[in-house]
Amino acid sequence: MELSPVFDQIHVVDFFDTILGGDMSQPGSGGGVVTHADGSLVSFSKPARPGEELVMYAVGLGATNPPVKTGAGSPAPPVPTAQTFSLNFDYRQNALPAPSSASPIFHPPSPVFAGLTPGFAGLYQINFVVPAPADRVAPCTDSANNLTVTIAGASFDGVAICVGPVAQ
């Protein structure tokens, strides 16, 4: 079976998707897959910190430069996307992903890297730095995240994550 590229269907990978196999799946947990640099999941018990570089996983980011054969595992080092993407950061609790946010879009709005994840077919990683909030934000709870990160391109999707307090 061959896949036809669709350039406007960005989807942040979540725990209900099967693309990651058993590596990160946590049945029934839902939510997007975002990891710390060490590969551990960003969660209420292990929140992200402002200034930290995280990795978010997605599908549907389109062509790469150089091109990689459809259905083939991505080579190492990672191959970047041909299209550029912007990121919106919204520090309201459980905000929905949106191409533009009612709250300020923090800089840098571009990811550090967007491209294929080595060894996987069609799985992209978006590396980004967590911006410091402009104002005091509500703390995370086990049912409320306090930062929504949206990937904006021809279409958009995003994920809510937990960001802990700034270290003093």
By the 8 A CB rule, do 148 and 160 touch? yes
- Pick the range with the lowest mean pLDDT from 8-17, 99-108, 118-127: 99-108
pLDDT attached to residue 127: 94
E strand or H helix that includes residue 147: strand 147-152
pLDDT attached to residue 14: 79
Kindly tell me if the per-residue pLDDT of 128 is higher than 90: yes
Kindly tell me if the per-residue pLDDT of 103 is higher than 90: no
pLDDT attached to residue 150: 85
Kindly tell me if the per-residue pLDDT of 116 is higher than 90: yes
Domain spans of the chain? 1-168
Instruction: Write the DSSP assignment of 82-97 as a string of letters.
Output: SS--EEEEE-STTPPP
By the 8 A CB rule, do 125 and 56 touch? yes
Which one is predicted more confidently, 111 or 101? 111
pLDDT attached to residue 49: 92
Percent of the chain with pLDDT over 70: 76
pTM score of the predicted model = 0.80
Each residue of 33-66: pLDDT tens digit? 899 999 999 988 899 999 999 999 998 888 899 9
Each residue of 13-36: pLDDT tens digit? 877 666 555 444 444 344 678 999
